[in-house]
Structure 1
Amino acid sequence: MLGIIGWLPAVVQAAEIVRVETVTSLSRSVLGSTVIPYREVTLSAQVPGAVKLVAGEAGSSFKQGDVIVRIDESQLVAKRNAVLAQISIAQAALQNAQAQYTRELISPRSKDVGTMPGFGLPAMFDMAMVRPFADSMMGNYDSDMGRYSDLMSSATGVSQAQSNLQQAMSQLQEIDAGLRDTKSVAPFDGIVLAKMVEAGDTVQPGQPLIKFGYVKYKRLQADVPSGLVSNLSEGMLVPAKIDSRTTIMVKVSQIYPVADPSRHTVTVKFDLPVDSVAAPGMYAEVYLPEGETGDAKVVVIPKTALLKGRSLPSVLVVKNDNTSELRLVRLGVEQEDGKVEVVSGLNADERVIDKPPATASSGWMPHAE
C-alpha cells in the first residue's frame, strides 16, 4: 500500500494539459485473411500407374530437383526396350539402302554386263548393238532414263529408311519423356504442404499428388470488397494481426486485375515481414483504410489521457474556467504513435489532461508548476 501511495505523487506531477489534435482518419475495415506460402504448386500425375515412392510427409523439406513422388515405370521400360530394337532394325535398313544407292552411283545396274548368262556375251551384244540401235533408230528406248530410274529407286529406299529411323527415334523420345514424368521433383526449395497419395495408390493423369510450397517468405491472401480496392496500391503498408497477436505491418504485393463476379471481391496478397511467426493456413486480420488519404479528419488524444480502471473510456476535459470535467468518449482505431482516435465526445478545439491519476474525477487539475 505504501508503494502505491508513494507512486501516486509522481503520476500527479507528470500530468499535463494537452490540446486535442486533428489528423487524417484511419478508420479501417477488418478483413479476414489466410497465411499462404510465397510460392505454392500442386504436383499432379502425368502418367497412369501405381505410386512406387512417396519420399516424405507433410512438412518434409526438399531441395530443388529432389524426387518427391515416383510412379511405377516398368511398362514404359519394356516399351523402351522394344523401341530400341526397332531403332537397331531401322539403322541396319538405312545402312543397306545407302550401300545400294552408292553401288548404283558407281556401278549402274543398267550397264552391268554380268547380269546375263553365257559369259556376258548376250549382254555385251545387247549393249554394243541392240541398245544403241534402239536409241538412234527406234526411238523407244533411252538407257539414260533407265539409269535415272534406278538412281531414284535407290534414293527413295534411303529416304524411306531414314524416315523409319526417325519415327523410331521419336517414339524413343516420347517414352523417355514419359519416364521423366513418372518422377515428381521439387521445382524449388520448400516443404510438402499436403500429401494426397500413399505408396501403392493407383493414379491417373491429372490427379493431384502433393502440394509443395516455398515458406521462407510468407504472404496473406484476402478477398477485398471492390469498394475498398481503390484505396490500395502495390507497395502500400497496412496493419495486420496474426491469430490476434501483436500488430505488424504488411505490404501490398499483388492486386488481381479482375473481381469475382459472384462475390464482387478482388483477391489481394500482402507480403509478411521475414521474421514474422506464422505458418501457412493460419488466420489473420488485415486492417484496410475505408477512405482515401485526406478524405476526413478526426480528433486524436494520447492513450495515456484515458482514465484507468473505468468500465467506459473517459477523459478529463479542461473547461474555460480552468476546471476539469469528466466526459465519456467513444474511441476509434489506434494510431501508430501512441495515440487513439476519438469518434465522439471531443471537439478539435478542446483540451484534456494527459496522464491523470486513476483516482482523478471531475474538478481535478494538475499541480501548478
Structure 2
Amino acid sequence: MNNRMSITNNAHWLLVLVASICLLPGAYAAEIIRVDASESQSQSVLGSTVIPYKEVTLAAQVPGVVKQVAGEVGAIFKQGDVIVQIDETTLQARRNSVLAQISTAQAVLQNSQAQYTRELVSPRSKDVGALPGFGLPAMFDMLAVRPFADSMMGGYDSDMGRYSDLMSSATVVSQAQSSLQQAMSQLQEIDSTVRDAKSIAPFEGMVLERLVEEGDTVQPGQALIKFGFVKFKRLQADVPSGLIRYLDEDMVVPVRIDGHVETMAKVAQIYPIADPSRHTVIVKFDLPVDITASPGMYAEVYLPERNKDKPKVAVIPRTALLSGRSLPSVLLVNDSNVSELRLIRLGSDQSNGMVEVISGISVGERIIDNPPPSASSGWMPTAK
C-alpha cells in the first residue's frame, strides 16, 4: 500500500516538473535580439532655490529709533500698509516751527500788499494830510514850486519819484512772497521726510526676513526688512555657460522641489552676462501657481543636453535585464552562440520601456530578452 502511494506521489511530482520545463520558454518568451542605437536623452541636474516672484529690501530713509515693526516673518501685508515706523518726534517739532514761519510770512505778505496798494492809490509824494497849516505850504510847493523846478531847473522829476516809491513797495511784496514760498518748500521737505519715516509695502506680499527690532537705532540706508511677492514663485539656478545654448525663454523643463514634488517649470529669464569667476549664468524659472513651495527651498532642475556631435548610445529593453541581481546585467550571445553574463552600466530611461547603456555592451551585439530569473551563463532560449 505504501509503495503504491509513493509511486503515485512520485508520478505527480514528475508530471509537475515536466510541465514546468515545457512551459518555461513560453512563459518568459525569451528571444535573442540585437542592441539598438539611439540618441542620448541624458539630462543635467542642477541645484536651484525657490524665490519669490519679486523681492525688495526696505531700508531706512531717515535716522532715528525704530518705533514699531508691524509683523513677524511670514506676515502678509497689502499694498500701502505700514510695516516699519521710525520715531518722528523731532521731525514733528521741526514741522511746527516751519508752520509758524509760514504764518509770519503770510502776515508780512499781506502787509506789503496793503502798502503797495496804498502807494498806488494814494502816493506818499502827494500826501498833505500830515503837514501843518492845513497843508498850505505843501500845496504851494506842489502847485507852484515843483512845476517851476521841473520846467525851469531840470533837476527834479516828480513822476520819477512816484515811480521809485511804487517800485520800492513792489519789491517788498516780492520779498514777502519769496519768504512765504521758501517756508512752504521747507514744509514740503519735512512732510516728505515724515513719510520716509514709514516703510510702506510697495505691493501685496510677505515679510521674508526681519532685520531690526523695536528700539533699534538706524541710519539712512540701513536695511530694515526683506519683502517679497509670494503669490507666484520662481526657481533661480546658476547654469554653466556651456548649457545656456540649450535653453530658450518659455521653454518648459522638469523640476523636483524638496526631493518629492515633481512638476514642470518655464524658463522666464536668462541673464545676458555670466559670472566671470564661476562661469555660470543666472536663469529664472516660473513655477505653476498651485505648487506648494516656500522661498528658500531646494529644488533640482533637469536640463536637456542636445549635442549633435555626440555619438548615439546603445539602448536595450528593460525586460532584458536579469532580475534579482545586485548589479544590472544581461546575457550576451557571443559568436559561438553561447550566452555569457555581462555586467552593464545604465543611463537614462527612454520611452517604450527602453533604457540607455553607458558601458558593458555595444551597438549591434546580441542579447537575450526576457530571460528567466534563474538564467545564467550558458543558458539559451529554446528554438521556436
Q: TM-score, normalised by structure 2?
A: 0.82
Q: Tell me: CA distance 1:361–1:116, structure 2 relative to 1, closer, same or farther (3 Å).
A: farther
Equivalent in the alignment of 2:299: 284
Stretch moving more, 325-334 or 216-225: 325-334
> Is the 8 Å Cα contact of residues 28 and 372 (structure 2) preserved in structure 1?
no
Instruction: Give the greater-gyration-radius structure (CA).
Output: 2
* Cα deviations by residue, 1:267-309 (Å, 9 ceiling, x for unpaired): 1112222233322112222233344467553344454554333
1:191 aligns with one of 186, 190, 206: 206
- Give the residue type in structure 1 aligned to 2:220: P
Q: Tell me: CA distance 1:277–1:159, structure 2 relative to 1, closer, same or farther (3 Å).
A: same
**Shift, 1:184, TM fit:** 1.1
Equivalent in the alignment of 1:24: 39
Equivalent in the alignment of 1:85: 100
Stretch moving more, 336-345 or 45-54: 336-345
Equivalent in the alignment of 1:222: 237
Cα distance in 2 between the residues matched to 1:366 and 1:73:
94
**Shift, 1:347, TM fit:** 4.2
> Is the 8 Å Cα contact of residues 85 and 198 (structure 2) preserved in structure 1?
yes
Q: Tell me: CA distance 1:63–1:304, structure 2 relative to 1, closer, same or farther (3 Å).
A: farther
1:74 aligns with one of 62, 86, 89: 89
**Shift, 1:74, TM fit:** 1.0
Cα distance in 2 between the residues matched to 1:65 and 1:53:
16
Equivalent in the alignment of 2:246: 231
Cα distance in 1 between the residues matched to 2:221 and 2:324:
62
2:135 aligns with one of 117, 120, 123: 120
Matched position secondary structure for 1:206: coil
Q: Tell me: CA distance 1:96–1:19, structure 2 relative to 1, closer, same or farther (3 Å).
A: farther
* 1:111 and 2:126 aligned: yes
Cα distance in 1 between the residues matched to 2:60 and 2:44:
42
Equivalent in the alignment of 2:73: 58
Cα distance in 2 between the residues matched to 1:132 and 1:46:
69
2:260 aligns with one of 219, 234, 245: 245
- Give the residue type in structure 2 aligned to 1:116: L
> Is the 8 Å Cα contact of residues 12 and 366 (structure 1) preserved in structure 2?
no
Matches within 5 A, 1:173-192: 173-192=188-207
Stretch moving more, 209-218 or 232-241: 232-241
Cα distance in 2 between the residues matched to 1:346 and 1:232:
32
**Shift, 1:45, TM fit:** 0.9
Q: Tell me: CA distance 1:167–1:242, structure 2 relative to 1, closer, same or farther (3 Å).
A: same
Stretch moving more, 344-353 or 245-254: 344-353
**Structure 1 residue ranges without an equivalent (≥5):** none
- Give the residue type in structure 1 aligned to 2:121: I
Cα distance in 2 between the residues matched to 1:300 and 1:104:
107
- Alignment: residue pair count: 362
Cα distance in 2 between the residues matched to 1:146 and 1:193:
74
Cα distance in 2 between the residues matched to 1:229 and 1:250:
16
**Shift, 1:84, TM fit:** 0.9
**Shift, 1:310, TM fit:** 2.0
Matched position secondary structure for 1:285: strand
2:111 aligns with one of 63, 81, 96: 96
Aligned-pair identity (%): 71
**Shift, 1:329, TM fit:** 2.3
Q: TM-score, normalised by structure 1?
A: 0.85
Stretch moving more, 301-310 or 126-135: 301-310
Equivalent in the alignment of 1:257: 272
1:327 aligns with one of 342, 345, 362: 342
> Is the 8 Å Cα contact of residues 236 and 285 (structure 2) preserved in structure 1?
yes
Matched position secondary structure for 2:246: coil
> Is the 8 Å Cα contact of residues 324 and 365 (structure 1) preserved in structure 2?
no
Q: Tell me: CA distance 1:261–1:116, structure 2 relative to 1, closer, same or farther (3 Å).
A: farther
* Cα deviations by residue, 1:141-180 (Å, 9 ceiling, x for unpaired): 1122112212211221121111111111111111111111
* Cα deviations by residue, 1:289-339 (Å, 9 ceiling, x for unpaired): 344467553344454554333222224567899986643322223347754
Cα distance in 1 between the residues matched to 2:292 and 2:382:
44
Q: Tell me: CA distance 1:217–1:358, structure 2 relative to 1, closer, same or farther (3 Å).
A: farther
> Is the 8 Å Cα contact of residues 323 and 365 (structure 1) preserved in structure 2?
no
Matched position secondary structure for 1:248: strand
Matches within 5 A, 1:137-152: 137-152=152-167
- Give the residue type in structure 1 aligned to 2:138: A
2:175 aligns with one of 141, 155, 160: 160
Cα distance in 2 between the residues matched to 1:147 and 1:193:
72
Stretch moving more, 86-95 or 238-247: 238-247
CA RMSD of aligned residues (A): 3.1
* Cα deviations by residue, 1:236-286 (Å, 9 ceiling, x for unpaired): 222332233254332221111222222222211122222333221122222
Matched position secondary structure for 1:187: coil
> Is the 8 Å Cα contact of residues 28 and 371 (structure 2) preserved in structure 1?
no
> Is the 8 Å Cα contact of residues 114 and 123 (structure 1) preserved in structure 2?
no
> Is the 8 Å Cα contact of residues 24 and 293 (structure 1) preserved in structure 2?
no
Stretch moving more, 157-166 or 118-127: 118-127
> Is the 8 Å Cα contact of residues 28 and 370 (structure 2) preserved in structure 1?
no
Cα distance in 1 between the residues matched to 2:62 and 2:382:
81
Cα distance in 2 between the residues matched to 1:69 and 1:336:
56
